[in-house]
Amino acid sequence: MSFLYRGISKGRHEQNSGLLIPKDTGPFEYPAKWDEAVWDSGETWDSSATNAVVRHQREQRGLPTSGISTTPHIRRAEFYATQGGKTSEGILYKIDRSILSKHGVTEFVVKEYATSPSVPEDDEVILVLANYGPLPAAIVVAVISISREVT
């Protein structure tokens, strides 16, 4: 069995009532814009999921898409859950990768779309629900509270 992890702050977990909610609920596609596109990044001229993947992870700017960032590396998820060690508490979602399609979730492996992923060590996988809403609770096999010293 293969897992993905999502790390978020405890406050955001509580604010979203434990749901993994994307920043946008529109189609997971994006049109290239002349003054914004980075042409050697993997973007294309059309409105596409490829452009959405590149936009979603670009420079870690938090640009809104209907995707949810995950990683297959629990330590990277812990890093994000504690905001790089700046906070002492966080939440990890452990997601069963083998049942994503059964629940209408598509995965986009960033390194298969973006020529230069913003954070290569994340091995980021963006998850998108077919109707672009919150990810179904059924794919989450564990919600793990973490607590550690602030560095």
Q: Of residues 139 and 50, which shows the higher confidence score?
A: 139
Q: What sections of the chain are H helices per DSSP?
A: 10-15, 49-57, 74-81
Could you tell me the pLDDT band of residue 107, with boundaries at 50, 70 and 90? Answer: very high
What's the domain count of the chain?
Answer: 1
**Mean pLDDT confidence for 79-87:** 89
Look at residue 41 in the predicted model and tell me its pLDDT: 53
Q: Of residues 42 and 56, which shows the higher confidence score?
A: 56
Establish if 51 belongs to a structural domain.
no
102 DSSP assignment: G
Establish if 15 belongs to a structural domain.
yes
Partnered with residue 31 across adjacent β-strands are 47
- The pTM of the full predicted model, rounded to 2 decimals, is 0.88
Establish if 7 belongs to a structural domain.
yes
Establish if 33 belongs to a structural domain.
no
The whole domain housing 143 covers: 3-23+69-147
Could you tell me the pLDDT band of residue 12, with boundaries at 50, 70 and 90? Answer: very high
Could you tell me the pLDDT band of residue 42, with boundaries at 50, 70 and 90? Answer: low
Establish if 119 belongs to a structural domain.
yes
Q: What is the mean pLDDT of the chain?
A: 87
Look at residue 33 in the predicted model and tell me its pLDDT: 60
Query: Quick check: 35 and 76 in contact, CB under 8 A?
Result: no
Establish if 58 belongs to a structural domain.
no
CA 122 to mean position of chain CA atoms = 10
Partnered with residue 69 across adjacent β-strands are 126
Q: Of residues 115 and 123, which shows the higher confidence score?
A: 123
Q: Of residues 106 and 150, which shows the higher confidence score?
A: 106
Could you tell me the pLDDT band of residue 38, with boundaries at 50, 70 and 90? Answer: low
Report the alpha-carbon distance of residue 29 to residue 116 in Å, rounded: 19
Report the alpha-carbon distance of residue 89 to residue 147 in Å, rounded: 4
Could you tell me the pLDDT band of residue 51, with boundaries at 50, 70 and 90? Answer: confident
Report the alpha-carbon distance of residue 34 to residue 70 in Å, rounded: 29
**Mean pLDDT confidence for 65-79:** 95
1 DSSP assignment: -
Partnered with residue 119 across adjacent β-strands are none
Establish if 120 belongs to a structural domain.
yes
Query: Quick check: 118 and 128 in contact, CB under 8 A?
Result: no
